[in-house]
Amino acid sequence: MTSRHKKTLLRIIISALLLLIAFIIPVSGIWKLAAFLIPYLIIGYDIILKSLKNIFHGEIFDENFLMTIASIGAFFINEYPEAVLVIILYQVGELFQGIAVGKSRRSIKALTKLCPTMACVIRNGEEVHVSPSEIVSGENVIVRPGERIPIDGTIVSGSADLDTSAITGEPIPRSLAEGDEVISGFLSLNGVITVKASGGYSESTLSKIITLVGDSATKKARVENFISRFAKYYTPCVVICALMLAFIPGLIIGKGFSLWIERALIFLVVSCPCALVISVPLSFFGGIGGASRNGILIKGASYLEILSKTDTLVFDKTGTLTEGRFTVSEVHSLSLPESELLEIAALAQSYSTHPIARSIAASVDISADTARVSEVKEIPGMGISAIIDKKTVLAGNAKLMRENAIQCDETESTAVHIARDREYLGYLLLCDSIKKDAADAISEARELGIKKTVILTGDTKGSAEKVKDTLEIDELHASLLPEGKVSAMGELIRNKKSGRYVAFVGDGINDAPVMSVADVSIAMGGSGTDIALEASDIVLMNDNISSVTKAIKISKKTMAIVKQNIILALGTKAAVLILGALGYANMYLALFADVGILIIATLNAMRTLKSNKEKKV
């Protein structure tokens, strides 16, 4: 609880005690008015000042204005206790709302505490303590047990078990050593490691996540925009109706104006749209915060809403449904020794970040030979072109060979074909395993309302069909270039049902074009790549397919709570407004319909924060 909340609580307690005293002391007339006016001003002065300030700024019809005229009107009809009680309970509701917002903000911004205030950097052979923001690319940073890694980089010495749960949501620590990449925010549990910074702090994963999360609240969902527009037109309509109720029946029916003014005041108290304008954004904010605790970063409330209505899941294959860690299973050489063909392929792929390329490069020790390679060019959707030993080498799929009029052996498995100076040398066969959680995740996705699953991949049809059949995917589009994926996604979106959406799940390495086309895009961002953070709408800070279904669950839970609050608020208010206009509702029932529903809706909205994080084992 902040100091502001503590002051509000103190004012509520003092005002409640003074209200109780005013009930007890035997006074009348001006002294009775004074006895109730004192607690009223203590608890309500800020609301009155806000309403006056807003009037001068042209913002007349807000909840402060409604509460002010309702409470002052109660004094005019000698309902002193009700006047004070209206403001006390309103402040109680505001306090609940403030605490709830603070809790969700602390949850969603907890990542800001993951970066240490100081870092130990080696400069001129000495250890120097600096702010993480002062670290520059290429510097070596020492991380000791119990310390968090301040920047992204590569371990150059030492080994340690690292707690990655704050970033990835993964409960099991990772054992990493020299040569492994690490991400800012990881916690060293038991070892001293030296990390070579791959960039400055502003370029780190943690810095980008903090910026991403901070901006997420600015992207409103359609429901939120509707509520904002609703409140803008709703409030002046209510004030006009209250004025009509206060004077017109008195002129037509009679029975005195005080009766109708009292009903109009009850009408005003009930009509405050606080429960809607507070609880709906809070529900989305809580959903985003709960997701962030599970390593799921959602860039705005609109994406939560879209994901909850998604009925088609489209997957990239390599690195998404499969591990993306290929191994060379067979070498088919036409003229060279197999070891030499493998070496040429590894050299050609040595500068690529594609999972297949890295697997081939890792299969042979070529660290001393990379100087033989020059003029490396990545050809999207096809492979690599490079100069090796002054000869042009092509390494990629059959399309790359056909594009260069080179005859090659066709294979339905994942193959990398090699050609040198337009002479076909042979091919490598690679195998990739399906992720352990993929089958269960896709089955669970169907239980959550996903009607159709699709694979879009640049891999061969034979390799992709094995994955499709194993996971029981509904539809497959294989051997696609990036533009082919975009075209296939566009077709899926055109054929979707009204009111439903299509989501794309990719590894964030080469799927940016199709991500931009999908209704909502989800990046498997375990590697912390820039494109995963920038091109997608939702980032999973681990590489588990089960996190996709977790995100869908959170979106559906959030939207269910939003709908509950809308129905609760509008239903209750409509009923009490009618009862108040007919004279069957008093000020206390009006207070329940306003402040009571606000508190209930706020507490209900806070349930979105409880997206349980998986326990460590």
| The three-state (H, E, C) secondary structure of 285-329, written as one string | HHHHHHHHCCCEEECCHHHHHHHHCEEEEEECHHHHHECCCCEEE
327-431: CATH architecture: 3-Layer(aba) Sandwich (3.40)
Determine the pLDDT at residue 203.
Answer: 79
Residues 6+ apart with CB under 8 A from 124: none
Determine the pLDDT at residue 556.
Answer: 94
Q: Where in the chain is the domain with CATH 3.40.1110.10?
A: 327-431
What count of Cα atoms within 13 Å lies in the side-chain half-sphere of residue 183? 22
Determine the pLDDT at residue 113.
Answer: 62
Residue type at 287 in one-letter notation: G
Determine the pLDDT at residue 50.
Answer: 87
How many whole angstroms separate alpha carbon 364 and alpha carbon 342? 7
- In the numeric block, which tokens belong to residue 159? 């080994």
CATH number for the domain whose boundaries are 116-149+151-201: 2.70.150.10
How many whole angstroms separate alpha carbon 333 and alpha carbon 415? 13
How many whole angstroms separate alpha carbon 67 and alpha carbon 574? 18
316 is catalytic: yes
Q: Which residues of the chain have pLDDT under 50?
A: 108, 169, 216-217, 527-528, 614-617
Residue identified by tokens 């349930």 is 607
Cα 616 to Cα 171, 174, 230, 312, 405, distances in angstroms: 4, 13, 44, 32, 55
Give alpha helix (H) positions in 121-186. Answer: 165-168
Determine the pLDDT at residue 528.
Answer: 43
> Do 540 and 523 contact (CB within 8 A), yes or no?
yes
Residues 6+ apart with CB under 8 A from 180: 154, 155
Catalytic, out of 316, 432, 459, 594: 316
Instruction: Please name which of 386, 416, 421, 375 lies closest in space to residue 399, comparing C-alpha atoms.
Output: 416
For residue 115, the SS3 value is coil
Instruction: Please name which of 583, 558, 585 lies closest in space to residue 572, comparing C-alpha atoms.
Output: 585
Residue identified by tokens 């990629």 is 396
Residue type at 418 in one-letter notation: I
For residue 354, the SS3 value is coil
Q: Where in the chain is the domain with CATH 2.70.150.10?
A: 116-149+151-201
**Model confidence pLDDT, tens digit, residues 291-345:** 877 888 888 788 888 999 999 999 988 778 988 777 888 899 998 999 999 999 9
- In the numeric block, which tokens belong to residue 161? 């078990």
Determine the pLDDT at residue 613.
Answer: 53
